[in-house]
Structure 1
Amino acid sequence: MKKVAKEMDNVVQRWLEEHKMKRSLCDASGEQRDFMDAILSALHGSSDEHLQGVDADIIIEATCLAILTAATYTTTSTLIWALALMLNNEQVMKKAQEEIDINVGRERQAEEPDMKNLVNLQAVIKKTLRLYPPVPLSLPHESTEECTVGGYRIPKGTRLLLNLWKIHRDPQAWSDPSEFQLERFLTSNKEIDVRGQNYKLIPFGSGRRMCPGISLGLEVLQLTTCS
C-alpha cells in the first residue's frame, strides 16, 4: 500500500512540475486547461497565513490524489451495475452494441468524440446512475444559512445528508421509478443530464459543492462501457 501510494504521489508530482513549466513559458493568467491549472491559479500568490503554513504544492497534490482515489470505487461500482443491468435486459444491450458497431466499428477503440453519437449508451449510464447512485446518501454538506425546506427549519451549521437514492426513485418525479426503462431517457426525459441541472437526477450533487470529478467519472464510464 505504501509503495503504490508513493508511486501515485510521484506521478502527480510530475504532473505538477509539467504544469508549472507550461505556466512559466506563457502568461499565468491565460486559459486554464484542466483542474490542476485551476488550483494553481487559485493558490497563486496565497500567503502562508492563508494556507495555514502548508506548502501550496502539497495542497495541490493531495487534492488531485483525493479526486483520483475517490473516483476508483464509485466508478467501478457504477460500471458493475451498468453491465449487470444490460445483461438482465438483453434488448437494451443489443441496441447499445449495434449503436457502437455503427458509429465506432470493431476495428478501433471508442474515443471521446464518438460519445455524442452513442445515445443508447448515454441513456444506459443515466439509468444506472439514477437507479444506483455511487454515493446513495451523497457526501455531507453544511448549511451556511438558516432556511426552511418542506416546512422544516434547518438551522445554520446543520450537517446535511441528501438521500439521492430516494430522490431518484420518487414516484412523483418518475413513473415506475424502480423499472429499468431505457426509453425514458430517449424520449420525454432526453434532455435531462446528470450534471446537477435537474434536481430529480443528481448523482454527482449540484451547485458549487458538487463532485469535482464529474467529467473524469463520466468519461471513464462511457469509454470503459464501450470497450
Structure 2
Amino acid sequence: MHKVVVSELLSTRRSEMLRDIRDSEVQSSLRELHRAWVEKKGASDYLLVEMNRWLGEVNLNAILRMIAGKRYCSGSGEEEQARRARRVFREFFRLTGLFVVGDAIPFLGPLDLGGEVKNMKQTALEMDSIVAEWLQEHRRRRDSGDTEIEQDFIDVLLSVVDRVDLAGYDPETVIKATCSTLIAAGTDTTTVTITWAFALLLNNRQVLKKVQDELDEHVGKERLVRESDINKLVYLQAVVKETLRLYAAAPLSGPREFTEDCTLGGYHIQAGTRFILNVWKLHRDPRVWSDPLKFLPERFLTTHRDVDVKGQHFELLPFGGGRRSCPGISFGLQMTQLALAAFLQAFEFTTPSNAQVDMSATIGLTIMKTTPFEILAKPRLSCLQLFNGNPLH
C-alpha cells in the first residue's frame, strides 16, 4: 500500500498533475476571505480573522479533492459535513498524542480513567463512517459507468486493490484505513506548520516585510503567486525551513525498532528496543544551531544554506529520514509554501493592538498553538478586481 500511495498520489509526476488543485484551492480561499472583508470589515478597514479556520479549510479541501474528489466550502450544503470532517480528524490527532494511564499501568487500563479510550473508539467510528460514505459513492459511480468525473485517489485504489496482496485483509477496510491516514496526516500537519509560520512572522515584522518585498519583486501585484513561482522565492523558503526547525509539526518522530544489538552514543542497545527521536530537542541543540531559540531565516541563506528538510541532513529532520521518512514531504512543502506566499501577497496582516502573538504550544502527536489565532487582515494587492469573480491567473 505504501508503494501504491507513493506512486499514485505522492510521486513527483502525480504531484505535477495535481498542481492545479493546490493553486485553485488557495485562490478560492483568498476570494472567500476578500468577500468576508468586503462584507464585515471594521472602521479600521481590517477584518478580524481566525486563521486556524481559514488555513484548515484550504488544506482540507486540497487533500480531499485529491483523495476523494470532495470539496467542502463555507455556505454550501456540505458545510456541516466539512465541520464534521475537520472536527473528527482534529480529535484523532489530539487523542493519538494523549498520555493514557493504562499504557503505563496496564492493570488500570480497563477502568479507562479520563474516558480517553471511549473517546478514541467513538472517533474511530466517526472516521470510518465518513470515509465509508465516500467509498460507497465511488463504487456506485464506478458501477454506473460514469467516466466524466475526474479520477481521484479512491478511484485509483478501487482499480488496483484487487491486484495487490493484502495478506488476507478486507479490501474495503484497507482503502478506508489508507484514506483516513492520508487525510489526517496531510491536513493537520500542514495547517499546523502554516499557522506557526504566520505567528512567527507577526512576531518578527522585519522578516514579514522581507517576504512581502520578495513577493513584490518576483511576482508583482498584478497577479497572484502560483506554485511555479516558488523556486524564485528563496527567502520565503528559508522562512519555511526555520519554521520547521522551531515548530516541526511532529515534535517526536514515529517509533523505530532496533533489529540487532548495537552501540549508539556509548550506550549498548538490545535488538527489539524501540526508539523515538526527540525532534524538538534536536532542532534546538546549541551545539548545532547558533541562537537556537531565535527565529532567524537568514541562517538558511548563510551558515546552513545547503541544509534541507528532506532527511538528508540529520540536524534537521521535521519529516524524519531514511526509508520510513514521511512520503508526503513534497506535498507538505508545496502546500505550505504556496499558501503562505499567497496569503502574504494578497493581504496585510497584523495583530489586535499590535500585540505579540502568544506562542504557547500544546504538544501531542502534532504541536498545535494553544490559544486561538485571531489576527487582522486587509487586502494589499493593487488590483482588487482580481478577487471579484475573475480568474486569478
Distance 1:84 1:46, change over 3 A: closer
Match of 1:193 in 2: 308
Q: 2:152 aligns with which of 8, 15, 35?
A: 15
Distance 1:181 1:5, change over 3 A: same
**Displacement of 1:71 after TM fit?**
2.2
Q: Quick check: 1:137–1:162 contact (8 Å CA) kept in 2?
A: yes
**Displacement of 1:183 after TM fit?**
1.2
Match of 1:213 in 2: 328
Counterparts of 2:337 and 2:178, CA distance in 1:
24
Match of 1:82 in 2: 197
**Number of residues paired by the alignment?**
205
Report 1 or 2 for greater relative contact order, CA contacts < 8 Å, sequence distance ≥ 6: 2
Match of 2:283 in 1: 168
**Displacement of 1:66 after TM fit?**
0.7
**Displacement of 1:15 after TM fit?**
2.2
Q: Quick check: 2:262–2:270 contact (8 Å CA) kept in 1?
A: yes
Q: Normalising to structure 2: TM-score of the pair?
A: 0.48
Deviates more, 1:118-127 or 1:211-220: 211-220
Q: Quick check: 1:12–1:61 contact (8 Å CA) kept in 2?
A: no
How do 1:20-169 residues align onto structure 2 when only pairs under 5 Å count? 40=160, 45-47=163-165, 51-56=166-171, 58-169=173-284
RMSD across aligned positions (CA) = 2.5
Deviates more, 1:56-65 or 1:75-84: 56-65
Counterparts of 1:138 and 1:12, CA distance in 2:
34
**Displacement of 1:46 after TM fit?**
4.2
Counterparts of 2:195 and 2:260, CA distance in 1:
39
Q: 1:32-65 CA deviation, whole Å, 9 max, x = no partner?
A: xxxxxxxx5xx78544xxx231244643453243
Distance 1:107 1:123, change over 3 A: same
Distance 1:109 1:59, change over 3 A: farther
The answer to whether residue 360 in structure 2 is matched with residue 223 in structure 1 is no
Counterparts of 2:283 and 2:154, CA distance in 1:
42
Q: Quick check: 2:258–2:275 contact (8 Å CA) kept in 1?
A: yes
Counterparts of 2:329 and 2:281, CA distance in 1:
21
Deviates more, 1:207-216 or 1:58-67: 58-67
Counterparts of 1:88 and 1:9, CA distance in 2:
44
Distance 1:53 1:20, change over 3 A: closer
- Give the counterpart letter for 2:307 in structure 1: I
Q: Structure 2: which 5+ residue stretches go unaligned?
A: 1-83, 85-125, 140-150, 343-393
Tell me the SS of whatever aligns to 2:152: helix
Distance 1:205 1:12, change over 3 A: farther
Counterparts of 2:282 and 2:296, CA distance in 1:
17
Counterparts of 2:215 and 2:130, CA distance in 1:
35
Distance 1:64 1:127, change over 3 A: same
**Displacement of 1:106 after TM fit?**
2.9
Q: What percent identity do the matched residue pairs reach?
A: 49
